[in-house]
Amino acid sequence: MQYREFSNKIHFTPSALGFGMMRLPMKNDNTIDIEEAIKMGRYAIDNGVNYFDTAYIYHGGESEKILAEVLKDGYREKVKIADKMPMWLLKETSDLDRFFFEQLERLKVNKIDFYLLHSLNRSSVNTIQKHKIIDWCEKKKADHYIDYIGFSFHDTLPIWKKLIDYYDWDFCMLQFNIIDVKVQLSKVALDYARKKDIGVIIMEPLRGGQLTTSIPSEIMSLWKGMADLYSKSNIPFKMDIEKDKNIFYPAQFMLDWLWSIKEVGFLISGMSNFKQVKENIEFANSSFVNKLNKAQNSLINKIRGAYLAKTVVACTKCNYCKNCPKKIAISEIFDSLNEIKRYENQKTPTFRYGFIPEENRASKCCSCGICLPVCPQGINIPELLKKCSKVFEERKQFSDFF
């Protein structure tokens, strides 16, 4: 495993790859495959992964419990764990202790190494001030319940700078990948964090797997060009020799691009099966700063443009909106919407939409707005669902609305 520079004020050298506990393997009955999840987590630790990330809301609270199982039998001593305060659920200041001690109980630990304020945005400073959350965090740190204080972030660059200057944070976690280079993060932000000695953790490096699923043929042709550039530079890359030596893994190129950036601390990947864990560890093992050359970075820019041209809605399937009172299948609906654009075909995505139970379809949205403050991408979900209802249920033309 390769390890990364992080922060001088953090006494920890992180593995290039961190394990995100947000997209654990699921059984056919929609419950977590606990045995497989434990196997995945322990394999990762045995192969050098030393940072695990979870949150109060992941898998309806089951993620923390699964991590507790992973950490049994001496594995806790081998890793650092991160958990998050669900900021949007805070109603009373007393909720801070209620949520925190519930997390300790779920994790079966006495301390959380890295503690984050979850999903900060433009309204977060008011919440922080109202509940005196910084004072609360510092008290928990003084009492040895946490070691380091940070935040995860979902908003624009100016808001990030305002928040980063608000407090002397130890670290922060930001969404960054070959697509999201201007919304939240940029080289300017990375440089600024490094100047303040704030460790930067990258989440959604593959946009929740969206960038590697059903890759359009024209974009795959561009990735073939990246494979050629790797070969010319004598850089090894993974191919599926058992199937076809021409089958390669664009995920490696996308992760390499991130690891190539010196200011990036390390990446968190939400892995959903054992194969993904093994592959990502292989990719991490061959990563290093400045791995990509000018030609390869230029091709990444071209691929970014091709992807952006085919995206309608910037949904990453994080499912923070799953508390919808109407149980609308929001991320599934938006995925079908993006498929129309990517493949220039309305028939197949509409057919797939038909498998969504009627009570969970777009037309059932009541526009209550509960989803709006929790959406990391700032999507106007109710308005978009109205358009989705027209396209998928009334069979109107996609081009009439997008």
Q: Is residue 278 part of a domain?
A: yes
Angle at 333 between CA 332 and CA 336, to 5 degrees: 90
User: Domain check: are 329 and 258 in the same one?
Assistant: no
Do 175 and 143 belong to one domain?
yes
Dihedral of alpha carbons 10, 15, 17, 18, sign: negative
Considering the domain boundaries, does residue 4 fall inside one? no
DSSP H helices in 79-123: 95-107
Please say whether the beta carbons of 385 and 338 come within 8 A: no
146 three-state secondary structure? strand
Residue 30 token pair: 């929609």
Q: At a CB cut-off of 8 Å and minimum separation 6, what does 211 contact? A: 177, 178, 179, 250, 251, 254, 307
Q: How far apart are CA 120 and CA 90, in angstroms?
A: 13
Last residue of a domain, one of 306, 334, 352: 306
What six digits make up the tokens of 384?
Answer: 């978009």
What residues make up the domain containing 364? 320-400
From first to last of the 402 residues of the chain, give the pLDDT tens digit: 999 999 999 999 999 999 999 999 999 888 999 999 999 999 999 999 999 999 999 998 999 999 999 999 999 999 999 999 999 899 999 999 999 999 999 999 999 999 999 988 878 888 999 999 999 999 999 999 999 999 998 777 778 888 899 999 999 998 888 887 764 456 778 888 888 999 999 998 988 777 887 788 888 899 999 989 998 888 888 776 455 556 678 899 999 999 999 989 999 999 999 999 999 999 999 999 999 999 999 999 999 888 878 888 988 878 788 889 999 999 889 988 988 887 677 887 888 788 788 899 999 999 999 999 988 888 999 999 999 999 999 999 998 888
Residue 116: strand pairing partners: 84, 150
Q: Look at residue 1 and tell me if it is in a domain.
A: no
Q: Report the distance separating Cα 102 and Cα 58, nearest Å.
A: 14
Do 262 and 220 fall within a single domain? Answer: yes
Q: Which amino acid is at 326?
A: K
Query: Do 143 and 206 fall into the same domain?
Result: yes
Contact between 175 and 376 under an 8 Å Cβ cutoff? The reply is yes
User: Which of 282, 306, 330 delimits the end of a domain?
Assistant: 306
Q: Which residues have a Cβ under 8 Å from the Cβ of 79 and sit 6 or more positions away?
A: 45, 49, 50, 51, 52, 71
* 312 is a domain residue: no
The total of structural domains in the chain comes to 2
* Residue 311, domain member (yes or no): no
Torsion of CA 47, 59, 64, 202, to 10 degrees: 50
Q: Is residue 41 domain-resident?
A: yes
Q: Model's pTM, two decimal places?
A: 0.81
Q: What number of CA atoms fall less than 13 Å from residue 133's CA on the CB side?
A: 29
Dihedral pair phi/psi, residue 58, rounded to 5°: -60, 130
What is the separation of C-alpha 215 from the centre of its chain, rounded to a whole number of angstroms? 19
Same domain, 76 and 198: yes
